[in-house]
Amino acid sequence: MGFVLKHKQWQTGSQKTLEENMNPADANDKSTNLAESILNHAPPRKMCPHNTRISCASCRLNELCLPIALNKSEIHQLDEIVERNRPYKKGDHLYRQNDPFNSVYAVRAGSFKSYFLSDSGQGRVTGFFLPGEIIGMDGIASKHYANSLQALEHSSICEIPFSQLESLSHQLPNLQHHFFAIMGNEIAKDQQIHTLLSSYTAEQRMASFLLGLSSRYSRVALSPSRFLLPMTRGDIGEYLGLTVETVSRIMTSLQRKELISVANREIELLNLAGLRDIISHK
Amino acid sequence: MGFVLKHKQWQTGSQKTLEENMNPADANDKSTNLAESILNHAPPRKMCPHNTRISCASCRLNELCLPIALNKSEIHQLDEIVERNRPYKKGDHLYRQNDPFNSVYAVRAGSFKSYFLSDSGQGRVTGFFLPGEIIGMDGIASKHYANSLQALEHSSICEIPFSQLESLSHQLPNLQHHFFAIMGNEIAKDQQIHTLLSSYTAEQRMASFLLGLSSRYSRVALSPSRFLLPMTRGDIGEYLGLTVETVSRIMTSLQRKELISVANREIELLNLAGLRDIISHK
DNA sequence: CGCCTGGTTGAGAATCATCAACATCTGTGG
DNA sequence: CCACAGATGTTGATGATTCTCAACCAGGCG
């Protein structure tokens, strides 16, 4: 059966403070904010990990996000145009399908899903976004977002106004190059999903999906073998072109084969090689 | 049954000269080339439509391709970096999976398919490319092409070395903006295919595919309702995640419903609204 | 406590794949 | 120009994977 974890010591993007090496100025800002809220008779609350006064230079995701390949002064210029918004609660929308496109966003903590509603009303999840990943590039061409974007849990993001990103890219060849690369990566990733959806069985899709999450979590220094699924079985099904029931059945089947161990949203990948075998097997 | 066309007066990208408004200098080049080939005792051949001495400014696809939104002098600069290669025969490869990435390509005439071979050996078609469309963006991020690219018929392309495109984009904000838009468009398009593959029935996929081709052909001033399919049923099947047999069956079924009329590669869309209904129905 | 969302499991149905046979088209070499 | 071979396309019979419908369970939140 494989052992099942009972307690809540699971890692997710939002449960871990993402800016650990903050500078003293940031700490000061924080205590100031706290003092203010007390003065305003707001209910005293725990220190929120989603500090909005963080800089790109100190963000622990900067290896994944835009600043990679920028030097110190360039990062500072990027920092100037990034807006760190208020956190989003589970279910909040970052934007909706057809809203005018203004910005791309980098996930700082938590996770999001994108989904598309067709005229006939039925929706399909088109993507999941974890910390360090970029959201909103589907709106660049048409100037309107093609999907809606919703937080799957308490999450925070960095907003990057696109016109300013363009001007800055014009000044910084490294940034232009890197943003081309980020978009190219998105294109390559989408084509992999095309292959997955057009030729994989339900079991292969699930195995591929879980391994994908695994490697994305390990990129942000979380465990590649134990994590919480931020999305529902329904979300997974819509994303993979399967029904909820099939997703559920495959999960229990993978568990019976001792490849994974699941309990609700908690999942552990027990045999990565075995999962890979499922994908290549045929 | 709908009438079936018997003869070969069908339009494809390659059967129509794509550069009609060529300037006098180009015409001179052409006759010179012809004279040369006669002097060299080469077999006299028909005037080839794939003249390589064409400029972006005179190309009738320049409204679709990169030059859009560039002014005259900017187009000239773009022209400098574009290489117009020899034509490709049916089956020729433009590049193969894992080849080092150097350039993106614009289709000038004809058509191509991209396909991905997985480790297990089975391949899947990931895209089709018609005149005016850009090929190769899947290689930008990893510096290696993720797919192989093969000509479906006699075709010609413009090669745009990517590093030069980047430098030029750095000088010309319009070009940078436009290339971001082209990549954004590719991302949005890929996500539509995601929705198609994850939620459409076989019939909906075929209808959507045919309507997609229709609008892409009309973009290059070809008939939106009558065209030649440059790809095999097998290619279509791989692309849509169906088998050859299913593709064939759906085609005859659509024909019985008098929505289309097919004979081999010749296809006529008899009822566009009817095809759209299939997609939105339920 | 009870509701509602989310998740699991089972039985039957439907779509599409598989296997197989055959028809047709294309291009090549005699 | 014909004949042939290989690739491509069609059609039918059968079967498997996945969906649909339905019932039920668990957990979180007011």
Mind listing the pLDDT tens digit for each residue in B21-70?
333 333 333 333 333 333 333 333 333 444 556 788 888 888 778 777 78
CA distance A270 to chain B (A): 23
Residue B15 is predicted with a pLDDT of 42
Instruction: Give which of B195, B236, B282 to mutate to test A binding, by max A Cβ within 10 Å.
Output: B195
The rounded distance, in Å, linking the Cα atoms of B158 and B84 is 5
Q: Which of A36, A32, A74 is nearest to A57 (CA)?
A: A74
For helices A173-199 and A72-81, angle between their N-to-C axes, nearest 10 degrees: 70
The rounded distance, in Å, linking the Cα atoms of A198 and A205 is 10
Residue B187 and residue A190 in contact, taking contact as beta carbons nearer than 8 Å = yes
More confident residue, B7 or B155: B155
Percentage of chain B beyond pLDDT 70 is 80
Residue B111 and residue B159 in contact, taking contact as beta carbons nearer than 8 Å = no
The DSSP code sequence of chain A is: ------SS----GGGS-S--S--HHHHHHHHHHHHHHHHTTPPP-PPPS--S---GGG-TTTTTSTTTT--HHHHHHHHHH-EEPPPB-TT-EEE-TTPBP-EEEEEEES-EEEEEE-TTS-EEEEEEE-TT-EE-GGGTTTSB-SSEEEESSSBEEEEEEHHHHHHHHHH-HHHHHHHHHHHHHHHHHHHHHHHHHHH--HHHHHHHHHHHHHHHHHHTTS-SSEEE--S-HHHHHHHHT--HHHHHHHHHHHHHTTSEEEETTEEEES-HHHHHHHHH--
Identify all chain B residues contacting A240, using CB atoms and an 8 Å cutoff. Answer: 198
Q: A-contacting residues of B 80-119, CB under 8 Å?
A: 116, 118-119
CA distance B16 to chain A (A): 29
> Length of chain B, please?
282
β-bridge pairing A112-117 and A103-109: unpaired
Identify all chain B residues contacting A127, using CB atoms and an 8 Å cutoff. Answer: 191
Compute the count of residue pairs across chains A and B with CB atoms less than 8 Å apart.
154
The rounded distance, in Å, linking the Cα atoms of B223 and B142 is 38
Beta-carbon separation of B190 and A195 below 8 A: no
* Sign for the pseudo-dihedral over CA of A29, A33, A39, A45: negative
- Cβ neighbors of A24 (< 8 A, separation 6 or more) are none
Q: Which secondary structure element, helix H or strand E, spans residue B272, and what is its range?
A: helix B272-280
Backbone angles phi, psi at A97, to 5 degrees: -40, 130
Residue B53 is predicted with a pLDDT of 60
Secondary structure class of B134 (helix, strand, coil): strand
| B184 CB inside 7 Å of strand D | no
Average per-residue pLDDT for chain A: 82
Residue A203 and residue A253 in contact, taking contact as beta carbons nearer than 8 Å = yes
Q: Which residue type does A77 have?
A: Q
Q: Distance of CA A241 to CAs A58, A125, A196, A198, Å?
A: 39, 9, 10, 10
Secondary structure class of B240 (helix, strand, coil): helix
Q: A-contacting residues of B 37-66, CB under 8 Å?
A: none
> What predicted TM-score, i.e. pTM, was given to this entire model?
0.83
Residue B129 and residue B95 in contact, taking contact as beta carbons nearer than 8 Å = no
More confident residue, A198 or A47: A198
B130-182 residue pLDDT tens: 999 999 999 999 999 999 999 999 999 999 999 999 999 999 998 999 999 99
The rounded distance, in Å, linking the Cα atoms of A116 and A165 is 26
CA distance B186 to chain A (A): 7
Shortest CA–C1' contact from B255: which nucleotide? Answer: D10
B80-112 residue pLDDT tens: 899 888 889 999 999 999 999 999 999 999 999
Most confident of the ranges A27-41, A64-78, A263-277, B8-22 = A263-277
A167-200 residue pLDDT tens: 999 999 989 999 999 999 999 999 999 999 999 9
* B147 at A interface, C-beta within 8 A: yes
* pLDDT above 50: residue A251: yes
Tokens at A127, concatenated? 């993507």
Beta-carbon separation of A184 and B187 below 8 A: no
Q: B-contacting residues of A 194-253, CB under 8 Å?
A: 194-195, 197-199, 238-241
* B170 at A interface, C-beta within 8 A: yes
For the purposes of burial, counting CB atoms within 10 Å of the CB of B172, is it exposed (0-12), middle (13-18) or buried (19 or more)?
buried
CA distance B30 to chain A (A): 38
Identify all chain B residues contacting A174, using CB atoms and an 8 Å cutoff. Answer: none
